[in-house]
Amino acid sequence: MHTHRNTLECLELVPLFASLPLEQRQAIADLIVQQPYSKGSTIYLAGDEVSRFLIVEHGQIKITQSSAAGNEQIVRVLNAGEFDGEANLFGQTERDTSATVLTDALVCQINRADFQRLLHQIPEVAVSLLNQMSQKIAQLEKQVTLTNTVDVKGRLAQYLVETSAALHQESFSLPLLKKDIATYLGTTAETVSRTFKELVHEQLITNKGRQVTILDADGLALLI
Question: What does the binding site for DNA look like in residue numbers (CB under 7 A)?
Answer: 151-153, 177-180, 186-197, 207-210
* Rounded Cα gap, residues 14 and 80, in angstroms: 8
Partner in contact with 80, chosen from DNA, a copy of itself, none, beta carbon below 5 to 8 Å by kind? none
Partner in contact with 183, chosen from a copy of itself, DNA, none, beta carbon below 5 to 8 Å by kind? a copy of itself
Least distance CB 188 / DNA (angstroms): 4
Give the other-Cβ count within 10 Å of 125's Cβ: 19
* Rounded Cα gap, residues 179 and 126, in angstroms: 37
* Rounded Cα gap, residues 224 and 187, in angstroms: 16
Partner in contact with 200, chosen from DNA, a copy of itself, none, beta carbon below 5 to 8 Å by kind? none
User: Closest CB to a copy of itself among 30 and 151?
Assistant: 151
Partner in contact with 21, chosen from a copy of itself, DNA, none, beta carbon below 5 to 8 Å by kind? none
Least distance CB 207 / a copy of itself (angstroms): 23
User: Closest CB to DNA among 43 and 181?
Assistant: 181
Beta sheet of 171-173, edge-to-edge order: 171-173, 211-214, 205-208
